[in-house]
Amino acid sequence: MTVGLFIPCYIDQFYPGTAIATLQLLEKLGVTVVYPPKQTCCGQPMANSGYEHLTTGCNELFIDNFSDFDYIVSPSGSCILHIKDHLHSEGRENEAVQIRHKVYELTEFLTDILKVEQLDAAFPHKVGLHQSCHGQRGLKLSQMTELVAAPFSKPLQLLNMVKGLELIPLSRQDECCGFGGTFCVAEEAVSVKMGVDRVADHLEHGAEFITGADMSCLMHMEGILKRQGSRVKVLHIAEILNSSAQ
């Protein structure tokens, strides 16, 4: 099985540790991982701003880079959801459709495809799990509190395999953090307030780390934590799952 590793632009530029952890974790689990060097972005920043018509270049590039792999995996629920919902190509729609069916967010790839049941990981800290909306409600990584349906959570399933990790409860399990792509600057006041409130929920429950399957939400919350001078850190779930047991 060969997996194409898709590293979203902001992770590449700002959170290389998340990308490295994703790569190492997959390799540890016996997967052959290739990182196509000519990748840039899924196009979501433009599409969510109403400029989906400007994403043709990103789409073609994505198909060039990833159509040959068995699976495409990325440590970003939001970018994967965008590809799943909106990757199109005038000339190569067949390939686009195939890609839409073989892209996976990291945690769902681990639980659904690799069917991981144990991990050699340890992280002896109090951790709060942030359910990113695109991952949760879009990709259905976890059950949503609005629905009358049996609970489940793919990220939680994996975190439960990590030795020493203590998951803290939250008052609002799946409230949005307010990042929202361009929303975070276009609606600065509400975006920040949402982030402040989300962070407060984690802090009140004693989190030392806030984790999640989407680095963009975590970046937003990190920005708030840092400005508040908090010592609480954000960490992508890949880095926790890849943390070595000593």
The residues in 114-143 that bind another protein, with binding defined as CB under 8 A, are: 133-134, 137-138
> Is 13 or 118 the residue whose CB approaches another protein more closely?
13
Number of H helices, E strands in the chain: 13, 8
* Least distance (Å) between residue 117 CB and another protein: 28
Window 17-46: contact mask with another protein (x via CB under 8 A): x-xx--x-----------x-xxxxx-xxxx
d(CA 207, CA 233): 9
Residue 212 host element (H or E): strand 209-212
Residue from 30, 117, 118, 149 in contact with another protein (CB under 8 A): 149
Residue from 92, 156, 175, 208 in contact with another protein (CB under 8 A): 175
- Of residues 58 through 77, those in contact with another protein by CB under 8 A are 58, 61
| 182 binding another protein? (CB under 8 A) | yes
* Least distance (Å) between residue 32 CB and another protein: 10
- Of residues 202 through 231, those in contact with another protein by CB under 8 A are 216, 219-220, 222-224, 226-227
Q: Which residues, other chains included, contact 32 with Cβ-Cβ below 8 Å and sequence gap of 6+?
A: 1, 2, 3
| 189 binding another protein? (CB under 8 A) | yes
| 13 binding another protein? (CB under 8 A) | yes
Query: What are residue 240's phi and psi, to 5 degrees?
Result: -75, -45
Q: Give the count of residues interacting with another protein (CB under 8 A).
A: 78
| 113 binding another protein? (CB under 8 A) | no
Would you call 66 exposed, middle or buried from its count of C-beta atoms within 10 A (0-12, 13-18, 19+)? buried
In contact, 167 and 159? CB cutoff 8 Å: yes
> Is 147 or 231 the residue whose CB approaches another protein more closely?
147
> How is 66-97 classified by DSSP, letter by letter?
HTTSSEEEESBHHHHHHHHHH---SS-HHHHH
> Is 31 or 165 the residue whose CB approaches another protein more closely?
31
In contact, 182 and 45? CB cutoff 8 Å: yes
> Is 72 or 224 the residue whose CB approaches another protein more closely?
224
